[in-house]
Copies of this chain bind each other. A is one copy, B any other.
Amino acid sequence: MARRAEANNKLDDAARAGWLYYVAGRTQDEIATTMGISRQSAQRLVSLAMAERLIKVRLDHPIAACLELGQKLREKYDLRHVDVVPSDPGSSSTTVGIAEAGAAEIERWLKSAEPLIVAIGTGRTLKAAIDQLPAMDCPQHRIVSLTGNIGLDGSAAYYNVIFSMADAVKARHFPMPLPVLVSSPEERELLHNQILVKSALQLGAEANVAFVGVGELGENAPLCEDGFLARDEMLKLMDAGAAGEICGWMFDHDGNLLDGSINERVASVPLPSRDTAAVIGMAKGERKQAALLAALKGRIINGLITDESTASFLLKK
């Protein structure tokens, strides 16, 4: 037993130390003593537990200001669900806060005993939220990806959102083995006849809830960063009035899907109907404000998870 130290054991120790520290409220010194290690090692274990996301912290209090903003947003844009988290003025992160809140909302849905079809987009925000999900056991639900999760090079998964999620919550999952954008409407037609893709399309139409990120446009937009869209195409789109995209679907400043050829090349599952499903957008930050506003105006989403300052902006418009 002297050398039973394996990676697994290390995480076990980290979990134990983290529990003692955060849940039981012991000091690192006490933990070190009870675990028979030095304080420094205890400290390392505690921070490992944090780094490995074994410890999840959440705020369980409706902050009045956030609640109020949420209430007003709900009324103004006729939303089914709104969650406003505090802003952290000093942070430039685009996910801190809404990731936790998003995870909490996803968890709330997944706890349902009723079998649900949960649709999920992709992007950095959603990935961050998924990473906050606790381990669950949800064989009754099905998770479907709304967006192709194949990179342009045909190999790498474009943000491993649906797999991470299915892994965490143990549900059947239906990825989209496609890129976000294909070269022509005909190619899309062809690809959409694949059996896996057909299942995804079918499930997407029946989804009970969808969680999606909101993509801004611009030369540094995710679609450009990840190589799906050339810079000049992007500029052309913006000239044509594009304001943002959700799962690749481009819309203008009033939230109407663009007519031009671009949306005919989007291989994603059509967004579930806002009459039968909750379509919850998750986004914060100045760069996403225009896109978010447009999506709300056009009722492309009927649920919103954002932060205080973004909420204020959306109310002023």
Contact = CB atoms under 8 A, between A and B. Distances in A.
Interface stretch (A83-91, A233-241, A278-286): A83-91
B24 A96 contact: yes
Nearest to A57: B22
A154 B100 CA distance: 48
Contacts of A86: 16, 19-20
Interface string A17-32: 0111011101000100
Interface string A225-260: 000000000000000000000000000000000000
Interface of A: 1-2, 4, 8-9, 11-12, 14-16, 18-20, 22-24, 26, 30, 34, 36, 49, 52-65, 67, 71, 85-86, 88-91, 96-97, 100, 103-104, 107-108, 111, 132-135
**3 pairs of A and B residues whose beta carbons are closest in the complex:** A2-B134, A15-B61, A1-B132
How many monomers of this protein are in the complex? 2
B1 A100 contact: yes
Contacts of A52: 61
Contacts of A23: 57-59, 67, 96-97, 100
A91 B134 CA distance: 27
B90 A22 contact: no
Most buried by B among A4, A24, A56, A67: A24
A62 to B, nearest CB: 8
A15 B65 CA distance: 11
Contacts of A71: 24
Nearest to A11: B61
A60 B135 CA distance: 7
Nearest to A91: B24
A85 to B, nearest CB: 7
Nearest to A9: B64
A90 B284 CA distance: 48
Contacts of A85: 19
A103 B1 CA distance: 8
A64 B8 contact: yes
Nearest to A59: B19
A237 B97 CA distance: 62
Contacts of A20: 67, 86, 88
Contacts of A133: 1
27 contacts: A1-B100, A1-B132, A1-B134, A2-B135, A12-B63, A15-B62, A18-B61, A19-B85, A19-B86, A22-B57, A22-B59, A23-B59, A23-B97, A24-B88, A24-B91, A24-B96, A26-B91, A34-B89, A34-B90, A36-B111, A49-B61, A53-B60, A54-B60, A55-B58, A56-B58, A56-B60, A60-B135
